[in-house]
Amino acid sequence: MIRGIKGVKDILPDEVGRWQLVETAARRLAEVYGFREIRVPIFETTELFARSIGASTDIVEKEMYTFQDRDGSSLTLRPEATAGAVRAYIEHNLSASPTSQKLYYFGPMFRHERPQAGRLRQFHQFGVESFGCAEPAADIEVISLLWRFFSMLGLPDLTLEINSLGEAGDRPAYKEVLLEFLKKHEEKLCQNCRRRMATNPLRVLDCKVPECRAATEHAPKLTDHLSAAARGHFDAVLAGLQSLAIPFTLNPRLVRGLDYYTLTTFEITTTHLGAQNAVGAGGRYDGLVETLGGPKTPAVGFAVGLERTVLALPSTAVQTPSKLVYVASFGLQGQPAGQRVLYDLRAIGIQANTDNRVSSLKSHLKQADRLGASLTVIIGDDEAAKDLVVIRDMTTKEQVELPLSSVANSLRTRLNTA
């Protein structure tokens, strides 16, 4: 037997209801906020990710699925979608539009990580990117969308953590102060962090190793080294969140795993997910469009991990009353009459099903129960001869007769008022 790949999961029909609920909510909310969908490719040139995410990040150093195309060029399965969205934004000159470009996307991402609960090698994200606005209002709009999304779905104990990484110009001075501190505590840091000190010292703050976290607990904070403009921006974002009554926690360690972030960064966590409890994260990336060869364009966005969101979704969110109609037809005349009823019900958008392998009323009713039908239409030869059907309420077991010709319309009314 050929098995699927480690860390790459099937989403089976029994789970798909939860996925559809989450995806529908995401799509609706993004549209309500004025975002429009963009669909970017699943693979791009390796250079795009190396240049945008940053050469000395975990993703680019060890997590990318990179392969050589037949002409020798290097391609990579996307580990995230912001790089692709920015490339498309530049390539199709979307910056020339007189309206601000607010985009959203869905789709699979690929990272070669150690598979565990909530951490896969193919996983799915929903995300938004808001281009062209440097004002704190854009950060607030995006964060409020993210917060509302998880709140709407009823995810338990949500926490919004927020930090400011300052402008690109604030970093060098801070890096020095931080390095000075890290050097004093170097012997307590993991091998990875010692290496990061040389390549990307900010990432040390993000290390999950408990000893590293303890060693850096009193590290100097980036937020104490912000320029006046960066400080002003951060304060305005926080004030905006306060005025919308969106609760947040300041987390000076939140540096995020991608190099392109500037100013605001944020992450939302929920409970019951164990160690992998971040369901969504994002931030501002004012330099990225220019880095990739486009015009200077401020931007802010987030990405939601859909696997973790689906895992954290309370079961009450998924229990919608069934509107399924099962058609139980049998006998020489009954069977074709049943076909007709199914055809007519489906024509007016009623969810209708049968099991074509089954030919007795008893087995039909068993299948109707298994499928969770709310009503069953029964048609045997006797009913067909009289142009009648019997409607059975699967909960109360009550049965009523109806003329065959009026089934579709009566059921529509009955289901809509149920």
Out of 136, 280, 331, 338, the only residue in the binding site for ligand ATP (CB under 6 A) is 280
**Position 64 contacts ligand ATP (CB under 6 A):** no
Out of 307, 368, 377, 392, the only residue in the binding site for ligand ATP (CB under 6 A) is 307
**Position 204 contacts ligand ATP (CB under 6 A):** no
Select from 172-180, 278-286, 323-331, 386-394 the region that touches ligand ATP (CB under 6 A).
278-286
Select from 98-106, 274-282, 340-348, 408-416 the region that touches ligand ATP (CB under 6 A).
274-282
Out of 56, 66, 144, 276, the only residue in the binding site for ligand ATP (CB under 6 A) is 276
**Position 120 contacts ligand ATP (CB under 6 A):** yes
**Position 281 contacts ligand ATP (CB under 6 A):** yes
**246 vs 312 by CB, closer to ligand ATP:** 312
Amino acid at 165: L
Tokens of 327: 């058609």
**Position 54 contacts ligand ATP (CB under 6 A):** no
**Position 363 contacts ligand ATP (CB under 6 A):** no
Q: Which residue is closest to ligand ATP by CB?
A: 305
**3 vs 114 by CB, closer to ligand ATP:** 114
Out of 26, 279, 313, 391, the only residue in the binding site for ligand ATP (CB under 6 A) is 279
**304 vs 365 by CB, closer to ligand ATP:** 304
Q: How far apart are CA 113 and CA 58, in angstroms?
A: 10
**177 vs 278 by CB, closer to ligand ATP:** 278
- Tell me, residue by residue from 250 to 269, as one string, x for binding to ligand ATP by CB under 6 A and - for no binding: ------xx------------
Q: Are 149 and 29 in contact (CB under 8 A)?
A: yes
**202 vs 394 by CB, closer to ligand ATP:** 202
**252 vs 257 by CB, closer to ligand ATP:** 257
Calculate the CA 106 to chain-centre distance: 7
CB of 35 to ligand ATP, least distance (A): 17
**113 vs 135 by CB, closer to ligand ATP:** 113
Tokens of 181: 């501190």
**309 vs 376 by CB, closer to ligand ATP:** 309
Select from 33-41, 211-219, 289-297, 301-309 the region that touches ligand ATP (CB under 6 A).
301-309
- Tell me, residue by residue from 79 to 118, as one string, x for binding to ligand ATP by CB under 6 A and - for no binding: -x------------------------------x-x----x
- Binding residues for ligand ATP, rule CB under 6 A, total 19
Q: How far apart are CA 7 and CA 228, in angstroms?
A: 45
Out of 236, 278, 358, 371, the only residue in the binding site for ligand ATP (CB under 6 A) is 278
**Position 123 contacts ligand ATP (CB under 6 A):** yes
**246 vs 281 by CB, closer to ligand ATP:** 281
Could you write out the three-class secondary structure of the chain? Answer: CCCCCCCECCCCHHHHHHHHHHHHHHHHHHHHCCCEECCCCCEEEHHHHHHHHCCCCHHHHHHCEEEECCCCCEEEECCCCHHHHHHHHHHCCHHHCCCCCEEEEEEEEECCCCCECCECCEEEEEEEEEECCCCHHHHHHHHHHHHHHHHHHCCCCCEEEEEECCCHHHHHHHHHHHHHHHHHCHHHCCHHHHHHHHHCHHHHHHCCCHHHHHHCCCCCCHHHHCCHHHHHHHHHHHHHHHHCCCCCEECCCCCCCCCCCEEEEEEEECCCCCCCCEEEEEEECCCHHHHCCCCCCCEEEEEEEHHHHHHHCCHHHHCCCCCCEEEEECCCCHHHHHHHHHHHHHHCCCCEECCCCCCCHHHHHHHHHHCCCCEEEEECHHHHHCCEEEEEECCCCCEEEEEHHHHHHHHHHHHHHC
Interaction site with ligand ATP (CB under 6 A): 80, 111, 113, 118-120, 123, 125, 256-257, 276, 278-281, 303, 305, 307-308
